[in-house]
A and B are shown apart, each in its own frame.
Chain A
């Protein structure tokens, strides 16, 4: 190809003229658009809520986040389920169960007439299959530990045994689980989405179609999933608990918080997990009455890296930091209504929570004294300290407030805001090597209502590194109490053991700055009825109780 000079007007230009006109016409057409508001209400019961993004998976065995669980828990059912209001364990696929006096043998009687969405009845063989699948190494479940207490589970996962010694299905309606040793929260663990009962004929598919079209025995059956757009669920007419009132559930993926709020106001969503800030008076004037607040099972904190100076072995310094932070200001003024100040670790509503634990009320004078006792009077001599936070406006604002409070006692810290991948790598380290972050803002939401679900992963010394104890906390007495509570079956005795463990970890040897007990804030349209404001949080909720009553307020 080469350029050859010719006259510009010598060539017929009909086609080129047409191109020009086509471009103009297309632009005009594309711009000539009319109006279309949100979908008009109809007699069909449709409930629309928002997830920030696609659930990473709809395979119950792989679900390890609340977005996945929000779908999985409504498409599937396990042997038992948590009542979202009372947090009591209720029958689900199992209609009843017994536990042997030594706490080792769990015998479940399955409900008659439970059907998968493909119409096949659920049997004890399906329970057996589902539990084997969760434990099988090839499944790659990050939560196979939930069934690890079953005798022979570890051998099965390791491949040294072809079957699970402690798992038996003597008939189609009975399943027997024998544990290697007593494990008090075992029944709670069976309420998790991962322990759902699955049909073998679907989940043995080598093409893995179930990843995009799951089949379960829950109240809603999967209909369709458009990537990054929506997931649609339909009521399962033959659900054992009775057909849900909702005909359809539309789960919409909307990442941007501001856009989602506009969509909620316009009527395109029936609930929203991120209401405007209480300080946003203009927005609250519009939607304030629709904001529901309720505590949920979670605790926020700023962790110390206890394997590195200056926090290693320096209890006085950690206490000084705790007294320096004004939690009342944080949750009363900066983020009103989003949390309550924490005095400890175990959140309210969980057996073992201690409302009388003194904690660390804001006291600058005490903080200065302790700082001097720690060997750093007025902060002099402290090495550079950075506080790592996961990207997010709220995380940053919390860290900035803590930074400002610490500055008042002479301590300078810097804030490192990085995305989740970089954050978790810097904070968690490995079992052998501590993370690089000296301080980190974090939070923990309990999987089920049991103090073991927060104390063990975050504070037991066997869980250093990625297992949850990022700060590498180690206290022999705390370890002992947590271990003891695991095998005790009396609930009162267990709660007392957890209270004792917490008191040591908070008052004698603090591993964190104790910040807040979470409160969920969610918007619901007035016509959404049957809403349960559950300590399980905003997403891990059964939707079969909801109904739409338009015209009501």
Chain B
């Protein structure tokens, strides 16, 4: 809760300090009657002193009310609820891709340490991490969609199925591939490198000799002992990356016209739709906190040395 309160306050201050007049942008156009501007300011409480605006904002937050969009004139909650699922689906898919490929490549690199494959994976990881997402997305689009025609160029699709009992529509699966692949390459490098490093470190542990001495096969030693123990730092990286992917999918969403929350927040900043910026960032902060908690719990699960100690 203190984290969320601090986040809410920081976001509010930054948003408040943005240059520009929200009423001016709400009115739209280049020519606006000053009397209309004044009535917009009054209607939305923008003519009140800043501390009062802040207190009103907090008072609404306490009631779980994120306010109403200046531009769309509907609750911010419904805007966030509409744009978060596409971002979540994209981030989860990207993370699954990055994790799968990262673990495989990292493992191969560790097993082939010092050889050509290892160098290849290291270079690939470096390139994947270093390339700007925007540029990478465009390259993948030009290659797989425009030139080869294997995949749609962009978009979420119009005909995906709805998740039962919700108004959340899934993307058409082929529309998901390129943006997810683009986004996954951001994390893939980090996961591959940490997997490689952890496996190399775990590979020198004495408990592996014990396992081998007990007659365990090479495959069993690798999967059950080496890889499993090496996963702990990997899970930490994955957790951090997932939170980062949720907030950092903006460039991918922009390139592939993906209707996600990151893009909605950036657009709201441009329009000075302050309630959407505040609500969106606060929601992502809450998700970040929850993901961090989940990572801690996973850490507890994966590492037998971590246990709940009896209090007192």
Contacts and interface: CB of A to CB of B under 8 A. Distances in A.
B263 interface: yes
B1 interface: no
A228 B263 contact: yes
Contact of A268 (B27, B32, B153): B153
Interface string B103-146: 11000000000000000000000000000000000100110011
A36 to B, nearest CB: 4
B306 interface: yes
A258 B138 CA distance: 8
Given A1-B306, A23-B96, A421-B25, A57 B223 contact: no
A19 B298 CA distance: 11
A57 B25 CA distance: 13
A504 interface: no
A239 interface: no
Contacts of B60: none
B152 A36 contact: yes
Contact of B257 (A28, A140, A256): A256
B229 A8 contact: yes
B84 to A, nearest CB: 11
B211 to A, nearest CB: 6
Given A9-B207, A424-B24, A24 B36 contact: no
B305 A6 contact: yes
Nearest to A14: B224
Contact of A35 (B104, B151, B229): B151
B29 A467 contact: no
A365 interface: no
Given A144-B36, A256-B257, A263-B154, A468 B73 contact: no
Given A8-B207, A421-B271, A467 B34 contact: yes
Nearest to A24: B100
Interface string A250-276: 101111101110110110100000000
Interface string A117-132: 0000000000000000
A486 B37 CA distance: 25
Interface string A434-473: 0000000010100000000000011000010111100000
Nearest to A230: B158
B270 A420 contact: yes
Contact of B267 (A53, A258, A265): A53
Contact of B259 (A59, A144, A253, A430): A253
A203 to B, nearest CB: 13
A57 B146 contact: no
Given A56-B72, A444-B30, A27 B97 contact: yes
A10 B304 CA distance: 8
Given A1-B308, A253-B259, A255-B254, A27 B96 contact: yes
A259 B256 contact: yes
Contacts of A468: 30-31
Interface string A413-430: 000001111101110101
B77 interface: no
Interface stretch (B13-21, B49-57, B280-288): B13-21
Given A36-B151, A211-B74, A3 B306 contact: yes
Q: Which of A16, A422, A465, A466 has the most CB of B within 10 A?
A: A466
A225 to B, nearest CB: 10
B198 interface: no
A401 to B, nearest CB: 23
A421 B272 contact: yes
A552 interface: no
Interface stretch (B2-10, B173-181, B239-247): B173-181
A65 B33 CA distance: 16
A38 B207 CA distance: 55
Nearest to A20: B227
Given A20-B227, A24-B100, A467 B18 contact: no
Interface residues of B, number: 92
Nearest to B263: A228
A17 interface: yes
Contact of A16 (B19, B99, B100, B228): B228
Contact of B82 (A227, A256, A259): A227
A466 B152 contact: no
A143 B30 CA distance: 12
Interface string B25-45: 111111111101101100100
A227 B141 contact: no
B231 A252 contact: no
A254 B271 CA distance: 17
A143 B33 CA distance: 9
Given A33-B151, A64-B28, A8 B304 contact: yes
B18 A262 contact: no
Interface string A499-540: 000000000000000000000000000000000000000000
A426 B150 CA distance: 47
Contacts of B228: 13, 16-17, 20
A27 B99 contact: yes
A34 interface: yes
A35 B175 CA distance: 10
B291 interface: no
Contact of A425 (B19, B30, B146): B19
Nearest to B20: A421
A25 B104 CA distance: 11
Contacts of A252: 155, 257
Contacts of B237: none
Contacts of B20: 419-422, 424-425
A266 B231 contact: no
Nearest to B158: A230
Interface in A132-181: 137, 140-145
B121 to A, nearest CB: 16
A40 interface: no
Interface in B198-236: 205, 207, 210-211, 223-225, 227-229, 231
Given A228-B267, A268-B155, 9 more contacts: A3-B307, A13-B224, A36-B172, A59-B73, A142-B33, A208-B74, A259-B257, A263-B154, A420-B270
9 contacts: A36-B151, A37-B152, A54-B72, A57-B73, A232-B158, A259-B257, A262-B154, A457-B30, A468-B30
Q: 9 closest A-B pairs (Cβ-Cβ)?
A: A27-B100, A421-B20, A64-B28, A468-B31, A228-B259, A36-B174, A142-B27, A422-B19, A2-B309
Interface of A: 1-11, 13, 16-17, 20, 23-28, 30-31, 33-38, 53-54, 56-57, 59, 62, 64-65, 137, 140-145, 208, 211-212, 226-230, 232, 250, 252-256, 258-260, 262-263, 265-266, 268, 418-422, 424-426, 428, 430-431, 442, 444, 457-458, 463, 465-468
Interface of B: 18-22, 24-34, 36-37, 39-40, 43, 71-74, 79, 82-83, 93, 96-101, 103-104, 138, 141-142, 145-146, 149-156, 158, 169, 172-174, 176-177, 180-181, 205, 207, 210-211, 223-225, 227-229, 231, 254-257, 259-260, 263-264, 267, 269-272, 300-302, 304-309
